[in-house]
A and B are shown apart, each in its own frame.
Chain A
Amino acid sequence: MFFRTIIIAGAIGLLSTASHAGCGIDSGSVRIGGNDFPAYQAVAEAASQCAGGGATVSVDLNKDHKDRQVASLTANPAEFTSSLANNSALRVLMNDGLVRPLNNLVAKHASGLQDMQFVTVDGEVMAIAYMANAQHLFYRSDILDAAGVAPPKTYEEVLAAAKAIKDKGLMEYPIAGTYEGWNLGLEFINMYLGHGGEFFKSGSAEPAVNNAKGVATLNMMKSLTEYMNPDFLTYDSNAVQADWEAGKVALTNLWGSRAGPVTDGEGSTAEIESNTKFASAPTVAGGSRPATTLWWDGFTIATNISDEDAVATFKAMMNGITTQMALANAEKATWLIKGAKQNPAGVGVLASASGGALPYPMLPYFGAMHTAIGAEIIEFLQGNESAEKALEDVEAAYIAAATEKGFL
Chain B
Amino acid sequence: MKNLLLSSFIALLLASCSLGHYGKLVQNKNASEKRTSPKPIFGDNFNSFLFKTNITVYGKDFSGLLVTKQMSPKDYRVIFTTELGMKLFDFEFKDTAFTLHYCVPQFNKPKLLKVIQKDIETLLMNNLSVKKTEDYTNKNELFSVQRLEFDNYFNYYFTEKSSAHLFKIEHAKKRLKKTTFILSNYQNEFPGNILIRHHDIKLKIELNLLKK
Chain A bound to chain B: no
